[in-house]
């Protein structure tokens, strides 16, 4: 006996497919076909009166599997190792890309979006007049966009390494150029690093405070130094972030200007003391030639 569409014995859908011997998980309602677990485990071998012709259906609502999408194609790009990482709402897709499932709004660096799925909106986030003035006067660049809606957003920045941190009623001072994204629940501001002045090489950083997640980037694998072990010094261009409660001051050793630090040609470092950590990357940034 050939299969055909019959009235759904469960009453939940208009029709259900009878394959000639038993009810299947294929159901139809309103001209569309879906899959649903059988709800009549002891259905009779002979169904009720047939409906006649099958309904005018549209493509199934259940998405095709990735394997179906790559039918007839083989290779490392389609064997599953690069499939989307869906372990959690905010997760590293790989070492150099972040995936954020949009539920609550979050901030991301402008231009960091490399792909997205779903209904997501991106809007400029200026941070208010006071932050705008600080960015203009200090050069601490943190161009942000607010991400809202429903879907998945994939973020990256020049193929740099991505790292995820969770703040719980804590604070992190981070270089604006290393910020990739953070939850909108965190308070952020631009602040001058204590212990320096504009005349001695003033340094400004972005301060994140509160409870939430933050994704930062490093140009290569970083080192995390425990400032409590010994006085710690780092080049201003290589510093990524540090515990905001560390004591800081700027140190200028002009006699060693030809030996220490490459970023600016000047021997200016940040000194750290106290209980906390300092994240340093193995790079001082890209120096573009002046035209």
Instruction: Quick: pLDDT tens for 113-162.
Output: 999 999 999 998 875 544 444 444 434 467 899 999 999 999 999 999 99
The tokens for 208 are 């994140």
Q: Which pLDDT tens digit goes with each residue over 81-102?
A: 778 888 789 999 999 999 999 9
- Give counts: helices (H), strands (E), the chain: 2, 19
Q: Give the pLDDT band (50/70/90) at residue 181.
A: very high
Tokens 């790292």 sit on residue: 163
C-beta of residue 223 within 8 angstroms of C-beta of residue 280: yes
CA 291 to chain centre: 35
DSSP designation for 245 = T
d(CA 83, CA 138): 41
**HEC-encoded secondary structure of 116-146:** EEEEEEEEEECCCHHHHHHHHHHCCCCCEEE
Query: What CA–CA distance (Å, rounded) separates 173 from 192?
Result: 10
pLDDT tens string 44-56: 444 444 444 555 5
What is the pLDDT at residue 13? 80
The full set of domain ranges for the chain reads 1-61, 90-280
Top CATH class, 90-280: alpha beta
Please report which confidence band the pLDDT of residue 190 belongs to, taking 50, 70 and 90 as the band edges: confident
Question: What is the model's pLDDT at position 52?
Answer: 47
Residues 6+ apart with CB under 8 A from 111: 143
């Amino acid at each position: 006996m050939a299969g055909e569409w019959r009235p759904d014995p469960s009453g939940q859908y208009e029709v259900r497919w009878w394959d000639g011997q038993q009810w299947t998980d294929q159901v139809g309602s309103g001209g569309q076909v879906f899959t649903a677990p059988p709800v009549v485990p002891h259905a009779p071998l002979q169904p009720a009166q047939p409906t006649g012709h099958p309904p005018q259906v549209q493509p199934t609502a259940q998405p095709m599997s990735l394997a179906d999408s790559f039918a007839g194609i083989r290779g490392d790009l389609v064997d599953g190792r690069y499939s989307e990482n869906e372990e959690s709402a905010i997760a590293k897709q790989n070492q150099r890309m972040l995936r954020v499932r949009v539920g609550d709004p979050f901030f991301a660096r402008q231009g960091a979006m490399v792909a997205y799925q779903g209904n997501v909106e991106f809007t400029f986030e200026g941070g208010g007049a006071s932050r705008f003035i600080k960015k203009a006067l200090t050069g601490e660049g943190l161009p942000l966009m607010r991400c809202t809606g429903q879907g998945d957003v994939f973020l990256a920045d020049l193929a740099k390494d991505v790292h995820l941190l969770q703040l719980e009623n804590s604070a992190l001072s981070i270089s604006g150029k290393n910020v990739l994204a953070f939850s909108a629940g965190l308070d952020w501001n631009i602040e001058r690093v204590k212990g320096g002045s504009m005349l001695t090489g003033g340094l400004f950083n972005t301060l994140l405070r509160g409870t939430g997640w933050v994704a930062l980037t490093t140009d290569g694998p970083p080192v995390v130094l425990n400032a409590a072990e010994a006085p710690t010094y780092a080049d201003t261009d290589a510093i990524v972030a540090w515990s905001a409660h560390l004591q800081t001051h700027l140190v200028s050793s002009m006699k060693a200007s030809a030996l220490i630090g490459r970023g600016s040609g000047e021997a200016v470092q940040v000194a750290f003391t106290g209980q906390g950590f300092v994240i340093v990357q193995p790079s001082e940034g890209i120096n573009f030639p002046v035209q």
